Amino acid sequence: MTKTMTMTTTTVLAIVFAFAGGAATAEDKKPPGLDKKPGGMPPGQMKKEGGAMPEGGAGMPMPKPSPEWEAFSKSGEGSWKCDTTMPAGAMGPGSPEMKMQGTAKLKKDLGGFWLVGAYEVKKSKTMPGMKGAFSMGSPDGKNLVSINMDSMGNTAFTSGPLGADGGTTMGEGFMMGAKVKVRETIQRKSEKEMYHKFEIDMGKGFMVAGEDSCKK
């Protein structure tokens, strides 16, 4: 029995040493370039990832505004004078029709993808002065995006198909502190004339909140 146990022990130790030696041999015979270095990345991969960019600057090309957007926005830049009409009821039940004059300035910005502008409505006997900011853009040449905000706390974000001379966008916003649905129409009538209509739906269908006729 003692002899058998000794042989068994010797056999187990031999197997252990055989596996240990095999593992060490396999570790010693790893293909060149796969040795782990500090940081856990093989030298070959470090060279590949840390090397110089391919000749010709093979980085991701910068996106450019679409031809459709360029065609529409090129006439939008500049200073505009606008006649604004707010129909009766636009400022609440029983409010009268109001006519105002304002100015707007637009310029292409952020890589040419956006027309960014600011406008101001002059103070009158029936309407306090108001300022606002807005931007229009087309990320893909097929859709028009419009963002508005003003000094009365109103704001809106709308989008819709882009046509050759503008388009109609729809979305949501806040008017006089209430959340509303918004529909906005932007139309280029000529290189020096633009039309803009802003409609809101507070639960009873869309109603015109204001119309702008602007000229350079």
**Amino acid 57: pLDDT:** 52
H and E: helices and strands count for the chain: 3, 10
CA distances for 93 relative to 87, 89, 97, 155, 173, angstroms:
11, 5, 11, 21, 20
Mean pLDDT of 22-32: 44
**Amino acid 40: pLDDT:** 52
Position 125 confidence tier, pLDDT thresholds 50, 70, 90: confident
Q: Which long-range contacts (CB under 8 A, 24 or more apart) does 192-197 make?
A: 192/75, 192/216, 194/76, 194/80
**Amino acid 89: pLDDT:** 80
Contacts of 150 (CB under 8 A, 6+ apart): 130, 131, 132, 133
Per-residue pLDDT tens for 49-97?
444 444 555 678 888 999 999 999 988 999 999 999 989 887 777 778 8
**Amino acid 129: pLDDT:** 82
1 pLDDT higher than 80: no
Nearest CA to 209 out of 186, 178, 175 is that of 175
Q: Which two tokens stand for residue 96?
A: 């009268």
Mean pLDDT of 22-48: 47
Q: What percent of the chain has pLDDT over 90?
A: 55
CA distance 142 to 140: 5
34 pLDDT higher than 60: no
State if pTM tops 0.85. Answer: no
Contacts of 133 (CB under 8 A, 6+ apart): 116, 117, 118, 119, 148, 149, 150
Nearest CA to 186 out of 133, 147, 140 is that of 147
